[in-house]
């Protein structure tokens, strides 16, 4: 079972997207408890990076940092984790967990554009059709601008739209500059620890040590977030290797669905019918692109 999952693009997509989706309600709970977006992004990167590094060492793997790996770690840390997580958790109080998750669904389209321009594993015509359908669903959701009765300001929607651009750049870069002979867990651990170091410097410079004080009020949320993030990023880099950057980018579709349902069921968020209809269309786009992926093997 484990071997089949580790080599299944679809299975990895579902697991990775679901674990990513859990970060949305956890993030909203944290920001409502007074944790800044930057501090919560640090929790994710520091927690996941530390757990994955310990797991790597316990398995007897030797970590040998090289100039190439260090460059990779810090570039990935900036464009894939530190910057988009900071944006997401800063905008989330204004947009809601479910709506913020929809921003992930725009990354496949941006990734596709970058992938075509740079000739990095171009998708088939069916794959492009699936992504286009998913984009239509995402556009429907974006039009609603947040929860019912709490329409967000255009400024926060614009800030959130920077998330898929940053994620798409990271999707392409990770495939293009993947250090030869390096496993996914080592890359996940190294890039997250680099992200944590960057965020720590920024937090201490801009907010001071008191930025971490609110974390003591939500220990179980912190533990759950670290566990989910650690598992997610182990699968994340494996999905990058198996499915490629365009297919990987679709974890945002799964994460958005999880965010919508969890936000509605557990956080009391309410969304228009147009939001839910867009979610159904997004799901259809994922199924079509998954079929296209299978045909290329």
The pLDDT of residue 120 is 61
The pLDDT of residue 294 is 60
For residue 18, being part of any structural domain is answered with: yes
The pLDDT of residue 220 is 93
The pLDDT of residue 196 is 93
> Range with the lowest mean pLDDT among 100-104, 110-114, 149-153, 185-189?
149-153
- Find where tokens 């316990």 sit: 58
What is the rounded average pLDDT of the residues 92-103? 73
Domain around 56: 7-295
Is residue 241 predicted with pLDDT exceeding 70? yes
Is residue 109 predicted with pLDDT exceeding 90? no
- Bigger pLDDT: 112 or 55? 55
The pLDDT of residue 72 is 93
The secondary structure of 50-82 as a DSSP string is HHHHHHHHHTTPPP---HHHHHHHHHHIIIIII
Number of neighbours of residue 294 by Cβ within 10 angstroms = 10
Q: Note the pTM of the prediction, 2 decimals.
A: 0.72
Give exposure, 93-104, as e/b (b: 16+ Cβ within 10 Å).
Answer: bbbbbbbbbbbb
For residue 1, being part of any structural domain is answered with: no
What is the rounded average pLDDT of the residues 83-105? 77
- Find where tokens 């799901």 sit: 283
Per-residue pLDDT reduced to its tens digit, 246-261: 677 777 777 777 777 7
Number of domains the chain contains: 1
The pLDDT of residue 230 is 83
For residue 146, being part of any structural domain is answered with: yes
The pLDDT of residue 223 is 92
The pLDDT of residue 79 is 92
Which of 262, 71, 284, 79 lies closest to 162 in space, CA to CA? 79
Per-residue pLDDT reduced to its tens digit, 167-226: 888 888 887 888 887 877 888 889 989 999 999 999 999 888 888 998 989 999 999 999
C-alpha distance from residue 142 to each of 23, 100, 181 (Å) = 20, 10, 41
Q: How sure is the predictor about 119, in pLDDT bands with cuts at 50, 70 and 90?
A: low
Mean pLDDT for the chain overall: 79
Q: Are 219 and 44 in contact (CB under 8 A)?
A: no
For residue 88, being part of any structural domain is answered with: yes
For residue 79, being part of any structural domain is answered with: yes
Is residue 144 predicted with pLDDT exceeding 70? no
């Amino acid at each position: 079972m484990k071997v089949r999952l580790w080599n299944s693009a679809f299975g990895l997509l579902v697991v990775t997207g679901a674990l990513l989706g859990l970060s949305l309600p956890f993030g909203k709970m944290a920001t409502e408890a007074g944790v800044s977006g930057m501090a919560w992004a640090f929790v994710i990167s520091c927690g996941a990076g530390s757990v994955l590094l310990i797991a790597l060492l316990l398995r007897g793997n030797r970590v040998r940092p090289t100039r190439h790996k260090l460059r990779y770690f810090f570039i990935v840390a900036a464009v894939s984790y530190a910057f988009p997580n900071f944006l997401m958790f800063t905008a989330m109080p204004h947009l809601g967990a479910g709506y913020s998750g929809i921003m992930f669904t725009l990354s496949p389209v941006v990734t596709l554009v970058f992938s075509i321009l740079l000739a990095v594993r171009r998708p088939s015509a069916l794959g492009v059709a699936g992504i286009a359908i998913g984009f239509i669903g995402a556009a429907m959701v974006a039009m609603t601008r947040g929860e019912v009765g709490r329409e967000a300001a255009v400024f926060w929607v614009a800030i959130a739209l920077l998330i898929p651009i940053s994620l798409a750049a990271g999707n392409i870069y990770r495939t293009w500059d993947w250090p030869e002979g390096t496993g996914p867990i080592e890359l996940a651990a190294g890039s997250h620890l680099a992200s944590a170091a960057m965020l720590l410097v920024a937090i201490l410079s801009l907010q001071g040590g008191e930025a971490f004080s609110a974390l003591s009020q939500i220990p179980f949320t912190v533990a759950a977030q670290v566990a989910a993030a650690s598992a997610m990023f182990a699968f994340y880099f494996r999905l990058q290797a198996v499915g490629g950057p365009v297919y990987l980018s679709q974890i945002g579709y799964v994460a958005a669905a999880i965010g919508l349902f969890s936000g509605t069921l557990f956080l009391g968020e309410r969304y228009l019918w147009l939001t839910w209809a867009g979610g159904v269309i997004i799901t259809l786009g994922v199924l079509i692109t998954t079929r296209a992926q299978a045909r290329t093997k």
